[in-house]
Amino acid sequence: MAEYDHYVDGEWVAGAGEDFESENPATGETLGTFPQGTASEVESAIAAANEAAEGWRDLSYIDRAEYLWDIYHELRDRHEELGEVVTKECGKEISEGKADVTEAWHMVEWAAGNARHPHGDIVPSEIASKDAYMRRKPRGVVGCITPWNFPVAIPFWHMAVTLVEGNTVVWKPAEQTPWCGQIIAEMFDDTDIPDGVFNMVQGFGDAGAAIVEGDVDTVLFTGSAEVGHEISQQVASDPGKNTACEMGGKNAIVVTEEADLDIAVHSAVMSSFKTTGQRCVSSERLIVHTDVYEEFKSRFVDLAESVSVGDPLDEDTFMGPVVDESQIEKFHRYNDLARQEGAEVLVDRAELDDGEIPAGHAEGHWVGPFVYEIDYDTDLRCLKEEVFGPHVALVEYEGDVDRAIEIHNDVPYGLAGAVVSEDYRQINRYRDRGEVGLSYGNLPCIGAEVQLPFGGVKKSGEGAPSAREVIEAVTERTAWTLNNSSDIEMAQGLSADIKTEE
Ligand code: ADP
C-alpha cells in the first residue's frame, strides 16, 4: 500500500505527525497511508508561502495562468483515473466522481481564461483631468480548508482564482479524501510552479486550526456550520485577516399547485438522494401544495423505495454509501428525532437488509432513503437542522405560494432552493422572496456551475469562498486616481489653494 507525504515548498516531506489511513467507504478497504499534519508542517508551509509571495505577484496574470493551464490539461488527461479515486474515497457514484473532476477543470479554465479579461473598472471623475480606476491587488497568503464531498472541485473553487490573482496557497484537504489531495499536489508538482506558491498539508481539524491561527492573510473554508462559524469568529478578532466561509443548508423544494409533477418528482429525487444526500445543497424538505400533495407523495415514495443503493463504481447505482460511521450515527439520530417529533414515516430504508448490500461490501457504510411526512411547526428541530443524508420531510401547505415561501424561509440556513411551477408569477415570487444564495426554477436545487457565484445567506455563508466570486475574498481593491494636469484640482468644489499668512 502506498505511503504519501505533504507537499511543502516544492518538496515532498514526511513531517513529524503520525500516519492515518484513507478508507473506501463502500468496502472498508484501506486506500493509502498519509501523514497527519501538525503545527510544525503548517508553519513551514505558511513560511514558504510567505517567502514565495513577492516573486509570484510580480509575474503577469498571463504567466501565472500558464501553470493553471497545465493543471487544466492534467485534469482532463487524468479524468477517468481521478474520477475513480474520488468515487473510491468518498463513495459518490461514478458519474458524480467524474463530474467532480470536470467541475474542477471548468473552474481552472474560468480562472486561467479570466487572466486575459479586463480586471477592475475605469471610473469617471468629476475633474476632467483625472483618471480614476478600481484596481485589485493580491492579499498574500491564502489558507484553504476543504471538505470531503467535492474533493477535487472545491479545492479548485478555492485555489484557481486565488493563484491567478497573485496569492500563494496553503491547502489542507479533508481527512477523508487525502488521496485526491495527493493527486492534485502531484499535478502542481508536474507544472514546476515556483516553490512555495502551492503547498499541501494533509491532516485533521487541528492542522486546519493551525492554518487559521497562522500567518495567513485570508482563510477560505467550506464545510460544516459549526467549524465555519468558529473560524470566522476567530479571524474577525485578528485585524488584517479576512475569511470567506461556505457552510451547510437545510434546503427545500417548493412544489406548487401549478407544478408539472414529472419535473417536481424528478427534481426532488435528484436533490434529496444524489450523493446520498451529502451535498451542502441537498434538499431535506419538500414543501408541497395540498392540491397535488397526494399524487406527489405517492410518486416520490415509489421512487424512494426503489432508487438503487449499491457499489458506487457500478454505473447502475444511484446512491453509494455515506462517508463514514459518524454520518450513519447522525442520520439515525435525526430519523429518531423526526419520529419523536411526530413524523409519519413513509419510507424506511435507513438500515439496509443484508440482501441489499452489494457482495463484498459488508464493511461499507450503508444507508438508504428515510422519508416522512410531518405537519409544519416552527419548533420542529427535524425541519431546521441539517442532517447531511437521505433524510427527507414532506410538508403539506395550503394557500398561496407566500405560505410555502414562509415555511421555506423558516430555517437558520439559506444556501439553495427550488420552486416547481408552471405559473411564472409563483416562480418570480419565490425568486424574489426565497432566502437562499442559489435558487432554481423547475430544476433540482443541486448542480451549480462555476461561472455563477456560489454561496449562501444567513447561517449558510459569509462571503463566497467558491467559484468566480472568491475574487472578492482574495484581493484588495484600490481606488487609484491619476492627475493628468500640472494643476491640482479637487472634487466637490474643495479649494486647492494653499493660503499663507501675509
Ligand atoms: P464535514 O462535516 O463536511 O466533514 P467539517 O467542517 O468537519 O465538515 O470539515 C471540513 C474541513 O474543515 C475539513 O478539512 C476538516 O479537517 C477541517 N476542520 C475541522 N475542524 C476544524 C477546525 N477546528 N479548524 C479548521 N479546520 C477544521
List, in order of start, the domains of the chain with CATH numbers.
Answer: 6-247+460-481 (3.40.605.10), 251-441 (3.40.309.10)
Q: Which of 94, 23, 65, 306 is nearest to 166 (CA)?
A: 65
Name the closest-CA residue to atom 26, ligand 1.
Answer: 208
Work out the pLDDT band at 467, boundaries 50, 70, 90. Answer: confident
> Relative to the CA of 222, which ligand 1 atom is closest?
10
Catalytic member of 90, 144, 245, 280: 280
Q: How confident is the model at residue 459 (pLDDT cuts 50, 70, 90)?
A: very high
How high is the pLDDT of residue 492? 95
233 lines ligand 1 (CB under 6 A): no
Calculate the average pLDDT of the chain: 96
Question: Could you tell me if the CB of 53 is within 6 A of ligand 1?
Answer: no
Task: Give the list of residues 6+ apart from residue 282 with CB closer than 8 angstroms, or none.
Answer: 249, 251, 271, 272, 274, 275, 388, 446
**Ligand 1 mean position, distance from CA 226 (Å):** 9
Four-residue CA torsion sign, 336, 340, 341, 343: positive
Phi–psi pair at 245, nearest 5 degrees = -125, 135
Give the model's pLDDT for residue 2.
Answer: 76
pLDDT band at 286 (very low <50, low <70, confident <90, very high): very high
Q: How far is the CA of 208 from the centre of ligand 1 (A)?
A: 7
| DSSP 8-state class, residue 128 | T
**Nearest to residue 265, comparing CAs of 299, 227, 290, 294?**
299
d(CA 171, CA 193): 15
Q: Which of 374, 386, 322, 317 is nearest to 350 (CA)?
A: 322
| CA–CA dist 345, 349 (Å, integer) | 11
pTM of whole model > 0.85? yes
Give the pLDDT band (50/70/90) at residue 105.
very high
- Of the candidates 246, 373, 396, 462, the residue annotated as catalytic is 246
Instruction: Tally Cβ neighbours within 10 Å of residue 501.
Output: 3
Given a contact cutoff of 8 angstroms between Cβ atoms, the answer to whether 466 and 222 are in contact is: yes
Q: Which of 443, 382, 433 is nearest to 406 (CA)?
A: 433
Contact partners, residue 184, CB within 8 Å, separation at least 6: 152, 155, 173, 200
| Ligand 1 contact, 210 CB (< 6 A) | no
Q: pLDDT tens digits for 409-426?
A: 999 999 999 999 999 999
How sure is the predictor about 1, in pLDDT bands with cuts at 50, 70 and 90? low
Asked if 242 and 273 count as a contact pair (C-beta separation under 8 A), the reply is: no
Q: For the segment 143-185, what is each residue's pLDDT rounded down to a tens digit? A: 999 999 999 999 999 999 999 999 999 999 999 999 999 999 9
- Positive or negative, the CA dihedral 72, 74, 75, 77 is positive
Give me the numbers of helices (H) and strands (E) for the chain, helices first please: 14, 22
The answer, yes or no, to whether any atom of ligand 1 lies below 6 A from the CB of 227, is yes
Tell me if 114 sits within 8 A of 123, measured CB to CB: no
Ligand 1 centroid to Cα of residue 100, in Å, is: 20
What pLDDT is stored for residue 170 in this prediction?
A: 98
Is 445 annotated in the active site?
A: no
Q: Please answer whether residues 160 and 153 qualify as being in contact, where contact means their C-beta atoms are separated by less than 8 angstroms.
A: no
Compute the distance between CA of residue 303 and CA of residue 273 in angstroms, rounded to an integer. 10
CB 208 near ligand 1, within 6 Å: yes
* Smallest CA separation from ligand 1 atom 20, residue: 205
Ligand 1 center from residue 461 Cα (angstroms) = 15
Quote the ligand 1 centre to 116 CA distance (angstroms).
35
Tell whether the model's pLDDT for residue 223 goes beyond 90.
yes
Pick left, alpha or beta for residue 396 (phi over 0 → left; psi -120 to 50 → alpha; otherwise beta). Answer: beta
The finding on whether 205 has its CB within 6 A of some atom of ligand 1 is: yes
Nearest-atom number in ligand 1 for the CA of 212 is 25
